[in-house]
Amino acid sequence: MSRPLQPTRLRATCQRCSSGCSALHGCASFGLMADDQGGSFKLSRPVRLAVALGCVGLAVVHFFRPDLPVDAVLIGLLVGGIVFMFYDVSKIGFGGLEASVTPRKLASLERQVERVVVSDRAAEPPRRPEVPPPEAVPPPEAAAAVVPARAPTPLEELLASLEAVRIEAIVLAGNTGRLDPPGLSWNEYNPVNLLQVLAKAGVVPSALVAPLSTVRRVRRDALLHAAGPDVMRRAAELAREIQAKLRAIKREYIRVVQGDVDLYEDQAMTTGLQEARGVLLVQLNEEGAALTRSVYPRGTALARGQFVSWEWDLRRAVRREAWYRDPQTNTATLAWSSAGFFVGRPYPPQWDLERRFPHPDAGLA
């Protein structure tokens, strides 16, 4: 839950409201404000915009005047305009510039996320697609670092919370066949981009995208030493709220029952199929109940028990019937009449997806 915010006291007085104005006051006329730390000034949004436009305007005049050389003055004006236009700088001090993602803004976004209503409809993977994206299995990622016994720092707390959101976004996108762009290694996916894709498909509420984008901005500022501990803690709390909303979305999982299945050309299973080997997959709901069991031609070999993404390569296809021996009934079963290659990738084992089910061997019986 949100902690009450303590407004920063300032020495200057707002000329419009004639009261001690704070960084959280919101008075538009209070453009330039000295803070208690001394030697620095806070800039409101109108002032930042005016400074940016002024710098750009002077740079343009300087550029088109042939008698004024393109020197350090022009470069400085352009840099100043870019900084104030594209970065939320709210304070200028002897120590440099400070970003303007404030606890107040984070608290507002946190309340917005708390009001998001998650649909009860499960986010199902699409049926076997006609032309899904192909990808090879990447090398396994290194094991997660051991968490130290000491309490995490605000930055560590922020990074861990944001990583939990990223994992949840990848699993949602991977389970529903919406990894975009396909083929990236798991640590290369941007959670904001994934949420935009999922929101467009109606899988996640679109109201979660902007708060997550703000959390990533705080992360950037924190890595540049431009965000204070209070802002980092508030951003971590907001990330946990977003992760909880994503986790509440019902979804289905794809798990490998048998990673290498013998295939045959005929129902009598006398002639082996030469074009491909098979993989037996089970589709699970969140309670661990098996919804479907299917065999597809596989790309790289998979291991029993792995949770995998829903990805395909239809540039490779087996365009005739294939049969396999069902391990439950021990009878010949039609695998497909025509099928592309399944190239779903296993999720990293350190994500512990099996712990989400009542029994860790769900779907493998």
Cα(61)–Cα(312) distance, integer angstroms: 55
**Phi, psi torsion values for 222, nearest 5 degrees:** -65, -40
Q: Return the bridge partners of 193, or none.
A: none
Q: Which two tokens stand for residue 228?
A: 């204070």
Question: What pLDDT score does 226 carry?
Answer: 86
Tens of pLDDT, residue by residue over 62-115, are 667 766 665 666 667 666 666 655 555 555 554 555 555 667 777 788 888 888
Whether the link from the prior residue into 181 is cis, omega within 30° of 0, is yes
Average pLDDT value for residue range 127-156: 68
Report the alpha-carbon angle 147-161-185, nearest 5: 85
The Cβ of residue 53 has, within 10 Å, a number of other Cβ atoms equal to 13
Question: What pLDDT score does 250 carry?
Answer: 94
The Cβ of residue 13 has, within 10 Å, a number of other Cβ atoms equal to 12
How far, in Å, are 22, 131, 219, 220 from residue 87 at the CA level? 22, 41, 14, 11
Per-residue pLDDT band for 317 (boundaries 50, 70, 90) equals very high
Average pLDDT value for residue range 175-182: 93
- Is residue 251 within 8 A of residue 172, CB to CB? The reply is yes
Q: Which two tokens stand for residue 267?
A: 């129902």
Handedness of CA 243, 249, 250, 254 (dihedral sign): negative
Cα(115)–Cα(341) distance, integer angstroms: 42
Average pLDDT value for residue range 195-214: 96
